[in-house]
Amino acid sequence: MRTYHLLCEMCHFQMSTDNEKPAGSSPEDVSRKLDLIIKRLDALEQLIAKKPEYEGLAIPLRLTKMGLGLYEEPLRFASELKLEDAISTAQVSSAGVQANLVLRAKEVRVGERFTLELEIVNRGVAAVQLTKVETLFPEGFKLVRGPKAYRVEGTHVNLHGKLLEPLNKAEVKLLLRPLAKGIFTFNPKVHYQDEAGSYKTYQPKPVSVTVKDLGISGWIKGPI
């Protein structure tokens, strides 16, 4: 707790002087205050990186920034956070890996190439080892190009135990070609090992793509 209080003291700054009228609570005022807080936290993070004697403040600072949502969607909910909410959110965020699927096209034609990306982020405060992505894409697709750093095995991706440090991101990008029409859902599962050696999984929100027939012009041109 001493470390946390020291962090709070270092982050504290005066928002108004005795001669100023009290700051309002309009969206503009809240935005201005949050901008100042973000700048002060960023400056503190740089200071800690340069000063070995402040090394013990690195993790509390990260937890504070994660609690405020500054590593994903800045200001999304920070204006309504109370201190205990921030601490609670930080504890949840320290759980480990999160992932997000990015589908560049929601609708394609048979034989048409499209890109699928999986973003994996370590939201915890300790490094993890990524082992594999289970069923990154369903049956009915041909792999055109896979990631250079990992090996695609059927519909799975071997991540070779990649070490992912806290607040770092790994990306798996595939170029796929559908072989048949229909609606297909991408519902992968990320497997990883935490610092204690426990094996865990994380399943991102599924995404779907609609595959249509080539059509007359498509048959003349052929697959892209």
CA atoms of 69 and 64, how far apart (whole Å): 9
Token output for 183:
């609606």
Q: Of 77 and 156, which is predicted with more confidence?
A: 156
pLDDT class of 43 with cuts at 50, 70, 90: confident
- For residue 170, pLDDT beyond 80: yes
Mean pLDDT value across the chain: 77
More confident residue, 215 or 125: 125
pLDDT beyond 90 at 190: yes
Topology adopted by domain 97-221: Immunoglobulin-like (2.60.40)
Query: Distance between the two ends of the chain, CA-based, in angstroms?
Result: 60
Bridging pattern class, strands 207-212 and 107-109 = parallel
Q: Give the domain ranges of the chain.
A: 2-14+25-93, 97-221
At residue 99, φ and ψ (nearest 5 deg) are -145, 160
Cα–Cα distance for residue pair 176/142, rounded to 1 Å: 6
Q: Do 200 and 104 touch, CB atoms closer than 8 A?
A: no
Query: What was the pLDDT predicted at 72?
Result: 46
Higher pLDDT, 25 or 9: 25
Q: For 140-156, what is the mean pLDDT?
A: 95
Residue 192, pLDDT > 90, answer yes
**Residue 189 pLDDT class (50, 70, 90 cuts):** very high
pLDDT at 173: 97
The pair of structure tokens assigned to 150 is 């990992």
* pLDDT tops 90 at residue 209: yes
Asked whether the predicted pLDDT for residue 35 surpasses 90, the reply is no
77 pLDDT tier (thresholds 50, 70, 90): very low
Q: Which residue has the higher pLDDT, 92 or 176?
A: 176
Report which of 34, 43, 123, 48 is spatially closest to residue 79, judged by C-alpha positions: 34
pLDDT value of residue 55: 65
- Considering only residues 84 and 129, tell me which one the structure prediction assigns the higher pLDDT: 129
* Residues in Cβ contact with 177 at an 8 Å cutoff, skipping those fewer than 6 apart: 111, 112, 113, 114, 141, 142, 144, 223
* Residue 140: C-alpha distances to residues 67, 118, 152, 184, 187 (Å): 41, 19, 15, 9, 14
Q: What is the DSSP letter of 205?
A: P
